[in-house]
């Protein structure tokens, strides 16, 4: 009898302490395999497995490409690598970033749902924006269980809030209850496997191949969605709009993927970068105009010098306008876009 013993967990800010707490609450003989993605910079040395090994005797280590999946083991995605599941073994790849991260939560959740269907339990923990929501939807779509940390109990509530808002989660619980809940679920039989449409099945398979670093262009992701008017912030390719139920997200032909919220934040950041680049250019022109004005003044060409100084003053006025635009633009706060009656923070 198959059990719900494939547990996948994802978090970003606030996730380190959350993972420690959950693992410390698990029995040392837990009959389940646990897979963890925690957002981190690619240059950071991954210390999470060592820390988890200190709070529980369940073996914890960075996943190795091709290693078998065994029960009573914790697999952690290594820095700058996606972790994917295939029947019986783990894949560790350097496929395109998703939601600006590698490792990202969605590829793990998506591949787990595809490989193990109703045996999967997905857990979304503390973190910003909404990585993991699409993957959690896939887990539910294929018959697995969905858990979200209570946003009021999260250091950063955005990831669990997004999951709760867009996925029919089975449990919304505080951190202290997640370990005991996972222990109970891992001992229960897996639910009935759900029927999946052929189009959804093919789309999921294609996206897993992209995360596995297959040729994204040859996979033709456009065939699973429709062209959008937006350009990929990383490679400037045209983004394809994809749908997971009512969830909208985007992927380019080279493989980069974005949720709608992450795409919006990235575009906002790019606008600010462009505005500062414009300020730099205008400031350089001001310095050059003043330099030339000084040069002509020293050469007793006062009329010509005056024209350069006048142009410098006009450029200074333009620079001030752009600086005001930067202040008005700011960084968009995604929580401000949620209607008050849907705000769970």
Confidence of residue 330 (pLDDT cuts 50, 70, 90): low
Nearest to 211 by CA among 122, 91, 117: 91
Query: Above 80 in pLDDT, residue 340?
Result: no
Cα 51 from chain centre: 23
335 pLDDT more than 50: no
Q: What pLDDT does 40 receive? A: 84
Closest CA to 129 of 335, 314, 340, 337: 335
Domain parsing of the chain, residue ranges: 6-186, 215-260, 262-335
- Fill in the DSSP letter of residue 232: P
In the beta sheet, which residues pair with residue 91?
A: 84
pLDDT digit string, tens, across residues 110-163: 999 999 999 999 999 999 999 999 999 999 999 999 999 999 999 999 999 999
pLDDT in tens, 66-88: 999 999 999 999 999 999 999 99
Does the structure show a pLDDT above 50 at 54? yes
Q: Domain 6-186 adopts which CATH fold?
A: Rossmann fold (3.40.50)
**The dihedral of CA 317, 319, 323, 329: what is its sign?**
positive
Place of tokens 């995604």: 334
Tell me the C-alpha distance between 309 and 257, whole Å: 49
Sequence-distant (6+) residues with CB within 8 A of 292 are 308
Specify whether the CB–CB gap between 34 and 74 falls below 8 A: yes
In the predicted model, what is the mean pLDDT of residues 9-31? 97
Bridge-based pairing state of the strands 171-173 and 257-259: unpaired
Whether residue 329 is predicted with pLDDT greater than 70 in this model: the reply is no
- What pLDDT is recorded for position 339? 53
**Angle of CA points 344, 258, 133, to nearest 5°:** 35
Structure confidence at residue 336 (pLDDT):
55
Residue 342 has pLDDT above 60, yes or no: no
Find the range with the poorest average confidence among 80-89, 217-226, 242-251: 217-226
pLDDT of res. 278:
87
Q: What pLDDT digit, counting tens, does each position of 250-276 carry?
A: 999 999 999 999 999 898 888 888 888
31-51 confidence digits (pLDDT tens): 999 999 999 877 777 899 999
Long-range contacts of 262-266 (CB under 8 A, 24+ apart): 262/99, 262/100, 262/129, 262/130, 262/131, 263/230, 263/233, 263/239, 264/332, 264/334, 265/129, 265/331, 265/332, 265/334, 266/100, 266/233
Q: Give the active site residues.
A: 12, 39, 131
- The rounded distance, in Å, linking the Cα atoms of 40 and 249 is 22
Average pLDDT of the residues of the chain: 92
What b/e string do you get for 137-170 counting C-beta neighbours within 10 Å, with b at 16 or more?
bbbbbbbbbbbbbbbebbbbbbbbbbbbbbbebb
| DSSP-derived secondary structure letter, 68 | B
Is pLDDT of 343 > 60? no
- Among 213, 15, 46, 210, smallest CA distance to 124 is for 15
113 or 324, which is more confident?
113
**Three-state SS at 214:** coil
Is beta strand 247-252 parallel, antiparallel or unpaired with respect to 238-244?
Answer: antiparallel
* Reported pTM: 0.86
Torsion on CA atoms 154, 156, 160, 162, rounded to nearest 10: 150
């Amino acid at each position: 009898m198959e059990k719900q013993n494939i547990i996948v967990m994802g978090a970003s800010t606030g996730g380190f302490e959350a993972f420690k707490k959950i693992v410390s609450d698990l029995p040392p003989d837990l009959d389940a395999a646990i897979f963890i993605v925690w957002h981190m910079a690619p240059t950071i040395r991954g210390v999470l497995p060592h820390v988890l090994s200190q709070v529980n005797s369940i073996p914890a280590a960075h996943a190795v490409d091709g290693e078998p999946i065994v029960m009573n083991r914790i697999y952690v995605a290594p820095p700058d690598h996606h972790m994917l599941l295939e029947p019986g073994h783990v894949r560790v790849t350097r496929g395109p970033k998703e939601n600006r991260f590698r490792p990202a939560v969605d590829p793990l959740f998506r591949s787990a749902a595809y490989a193990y269907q109703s045996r999967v339990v997905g857990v979304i923990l503390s973190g910003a924006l909404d990585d993991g929501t699409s993957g959690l939807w896939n887990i539910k779509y294929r018959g697995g269980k969905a858990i979200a940390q209570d946003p009021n109990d999260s250091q950063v509530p955005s990831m669990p809030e997004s999951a709760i808002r867009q996925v029919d989660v089975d449990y919304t619980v505080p951190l202290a209850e997640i370990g005991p809940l996972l222990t109970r679920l891992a001992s229960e039989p897996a639910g009935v496997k759900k029927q999946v449409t052929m189009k959804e099945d093919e789309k999921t398979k294609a996206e897993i191949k992209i995360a596995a670093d297959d040729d994204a262009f040859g996979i033709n992701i456009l065939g699973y969605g429709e062209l959008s008017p937006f350009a990929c912030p990383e490679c400037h390719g045209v983004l394809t709009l994809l749908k997971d139920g009512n969830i909208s997200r985007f992927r380019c032909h080279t493989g980069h993927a974005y949720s709608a919220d992450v795409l919006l934040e990235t575009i906002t950041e790019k606008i600010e970068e462009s505005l500062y680049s414009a300020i730099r250019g205008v400031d350089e022109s001001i310095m050059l105009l003043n330099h030339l004005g000084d040069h002509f003044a020293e050469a007793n060409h006062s009329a010509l010098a005056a024209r350069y100084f006048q142009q410098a003053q006009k450029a200074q006025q333009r620079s001030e306008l752009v600086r005001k635009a930067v202040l008005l633009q700011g960084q968009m706060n995604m929580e401000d876009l949620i209607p008050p009656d849907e705000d769970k923070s």
